[in-house]
Structure 1
Amino acid sequence: QVRAFGPGLQGGIVGKPAPFTIDTKGAGAGGLGLTVEGPCEAKIECQDNGDGTCSVAYLPTEAGEYAINILYAERHIPGSPFKAAVRPAFDPSKVTASGPGLEKAKAGEPAAFTVDCTRAGDAELTIEIVSETGVKNHDGTFDIYYTAPEPGKYVITIRFGGENIPKSPFHVVVSAGVTNSCYRCVRYKFQR
């Protein structure tokens, strides 16, 4: 009868609370036991909501796999122990993108811009544009090159750790230039 649900049971990010809820409605009498085991000790906060549920959050301070043990009447509830993957912290607001290719371009001619992730932590960088190539540098920056096939308005979306960076999406006006009939839409994924 006892169940647990919420994002913290699947994982979280170092230094951020990982929340989940335990529902004991209709479970009868019994005590609730909770432990979080992993690469480091995680502080646990539990609040009784007064309706047969409790809100729980643990604070991981190191990346890695954690085991969340939830017991009711000294027995594991269904799914327990839950395996949670905690990722390193990252901050997409510290990613910057600059260069002329984010403002304007000419159809059929290469355009470029640079994405700097050096101060943002570790996460996957994704860039979605009509594109031909991108280069990962060894210093945490990425040089991106693309060729728009025809004039018009284009949108370049840049995400870090699944979240838009500041000013993304970028709106680019492509003026007439050399024509290029062969192009493809590519979604880049870079891992630092």
Structure 2
Amino acid sequence: KPALCIVSRRQKRTASHSVQAVEDLKARGRLGRPIVCSLHPGQELRLFCQLCDLPVCLDCASTLHRDHHCCPTHDVIDHHGDRIRDLVSTRLRPRLEQMEEVLQKVETSQENLKVRVEATASEIRAFARGYASAVEAHCLSLLRRLEELQVQRRNVLHLQSVQLQQGLLDVRGSVAFAERLLSCGSDAEILSAKGVTLRRLASLAERGYNPCPAAVAPDDSSSICFLPREPAGEVEGYPVVGVINWRTLDVSRCTIEGEGLRRGSEGQPGRFSLVCRDSAGEQMARGGEQVLVSIVHKEKKNCAVETVVVDNADGTYSVSYKPEEPGPYSVWVCVKAQHVKGSPFLLNVKKKFRHHGGTFHCCSFCSSGGAKEAICGCAGTMSGGFKGCGHGHKGHPGKPHWSCCGSTTEKSECLPPSVLAAVSPRGHLRTVEL
């Protein structure tokens, strides 16, 4: 069996060397190219300086490390190798496995990320194609609607033009005839034709020539406009924006809805709505108008009610207010600095509802359990030192009534002090809760 021996044991310097099999060295990974000293070329690093913790050659051990403890490398390799093996096996090997596992997860996540990004990109492209198709369809729909509006208004304008031209011919012919009659006709001719001429001229003057009430004014084309930010519903399942507005606000056709415009209560909120309409009486489909609402007391100066106007963005405006004083009020509702039909309106604000502070009972004697000090808001009295009312005694209403004011109606407003003082002969307002 081949063996490796550096020198013979017969040499004194190598007497302590050990002989090992080449296969054993290869199995343990210790057979390789020898490492030589950088200071002494040709000298192999066979010793280990424990003080400097460095491998050295024989020359270094005899010179630079003379007083240091140097021993053969094979004597200390097991100790230092065990430290390395222990660190590798107990700490680094588990960490290596853990890092490999994490790396595998990272690589898997990268693959999943790539797949998900590609799928999302496909979804985005499909959405963009669908959205572009919806926008294109919406664009074509808007253009068709615009063409329809053009045809409608062109027909109205053509009808107006024809009627005006006919009227113009009638007026022009009648005026020319009348002027020629006056300039060229004799007195007898003028007097003979005056009746027909006057009737014709009067008829033309009264006609006024507004042949089509719904006709479009020459500059009304400016009312057609494109609103790019207005919601336009959905097209093929995609929300789109952009509408064509062709309606013109007609203040004279705006209306008010809600009871809060006519009646109100002191200290209670009131509400009504303004509906803006076009010249055809149709509700406007958008907001943005300049709406001003003012509520002022008609009898008290410097008594105005704060109002809040909310634009509902659909042609309607919600108005809310809270009057603090009863009485008649004047309500001004203006759109674009013009009063709507009926403005200013009359608002009647009633006094605050007075709730009862007592109990609805048959008499103070029964409801108080016979207490002599219990009094009542009615005019009834009873003998025996009792201050309140009793059944069958003088002034008793003869039916259940409120202890605070004497009213015989259960669901009613509490009588004011002035009325109570006029009814009660005792002249007091103090009542006892029964």
Question: Structure 1 residue 91: deviation in Å?
Answer: 4.2
Aligned residue number for residue 62 of structure 1: 325
Question: Structure 1 residue 116: deviation in Å?
Answer: 4.2
Offset from partner CA, 1:78-131 (integer Å, 9 cap, x none) = 11111011111114465641116xxxxxxxxx94222245xxxxxxxxxxxxxx
Aligned residue number for residue 305 of structure 2: 42
Question: Aligned equivalents of 1:44 and 1:30: distance in 2?
Answer: 17
Question: Aligned equivalents of 1:14 and 1:6: distance in 2?
Answer: 18
Q: In the alignment, residue 269 of structure 2 is paired with which amino acid?
A: P
Q: Is contact 1:13-1:89 (8 Å) kept? A: yes
Aligned residue number for residue 6 of structure 1: 258
Q: Which has the larger radius of gyration?
A: 2
User: Mind listing any 5+ residue stretches in structure 1 that lack a counterpart?
Assistant: 101-109, 118-140, 145-156, 166-190
Aligned residue number for residue 22 of structure 1: 274
Match of 2:406 among 134, 138, 142: 142
Quickly say closer, same or farther: Cα 1:73–1:95, change in 2 above 3 A.
Answer: farther
Question: Aligned equivalents of 2:354 and 2:407: distance in 1?
Answer: 20
Q: Is contact 2:294-2:305 (8 Å) kept? A: no
Question: Structure 1 residue 61: deviation in Å?
Answer: 0.9
Question: Structure 1 residue 142: deviation in Å?
Answer: 2.2
Question: Aligned equivalents of 1:54 and 1:31: distance in 2?
Answer: 10
Question: Aligned equivalents of 1:95 and 1:46: distance in 2?
Answer: 40
Greater fraction helix: 2
Q: Is contact 1:66-1:86 (8 Å) kept? A: yes
Q: Is contact 2:330-2:346 (8 Å) kept? A: yes
Q: In the alignment, residue 78 of structure 1 is paired with which amino acid?
A: K
Match of 1:160 among 402, 409, 412: 412
Quickly say closer, same or farther: Cα 1:95–1:21, change in 2 above 3 A.
Answer: farther
Quickly say closer, same or farther: Cα 1:116–1:67, change in 2 above 3 A.
Answer: farther
Quickly say closer, same or farther: Cα 1:46–1:96, change in 2 above 3 A.
Answer: farther
Give aligned-pair identity as a percent.
26
RMSD of aligned Cα (Å): 3.1
Structure 1 consecutive aligned stretches of length 4 or more whose deviation exceeds 3 Å: 27-30, 91-96
Match of 2:353 among 72, 90, 95: 90
Instruction: Compute the TM-score of the two structures, normalised by the length of structure 1.
Output: 0.53
Question: Structure 1 residue 71: deviation in Å?
Answer: 1.1
Q: Is contact 2:401-2:410 (8 Å) kept? A: no
Q: In the alignment, residue 83 of structure 1 is paired with which amino acid?
A: L
Question: Aligned equivalents of 1:10 and 1:116: distance in 2?
Answer: 35
User: Mind listing any 5+ residue stretches in structure 2 that lack a counterpart?
Assistant: 1-252, 364-396, 420-434
Aligned residue number for residue 290 of structure 2: 31
Aligned residue number for residue 109 of structure 2: none
Three-state SS of the structure 1 residue aligned to 2:352 is coil
Question: Aligned equivalents of 2:319 and 2:325: distance in 1?
Answer: 19
Three-state SS of the structure 2 residue aligned to 1:8 is helix
Quickly say closer, same or farther: Cα 1:36–1:143, change in 2 above 3 A.
Answer: closer
Higher relative contact order (CA 8 A, sep 6+): 1
Q: Is contact 2:306-2:322 (8 Å) kept? A: yes
Greater fraction strand: 1
Offset from partner CA, 1:128-170 (integer Å, 9 cap, x none) = xxxxxxxxxxxxx2264xxxxxxxxxxxx63325xxx9xxxxx
What is the aligned residue count?
122
Aligned residue number for residue 148 of structure 1: none
- Where do residues 172-191 of structure 1 align in structure 2 (5 Å cutoff)? none
Quickly say closer, same or farther: Cα 1:54–1:116, change in 2 above 3 A.
Answer: farther
Instruction: Compute the TM-score of the two structures, normalised by the length of structure 2.
Output: 0.25
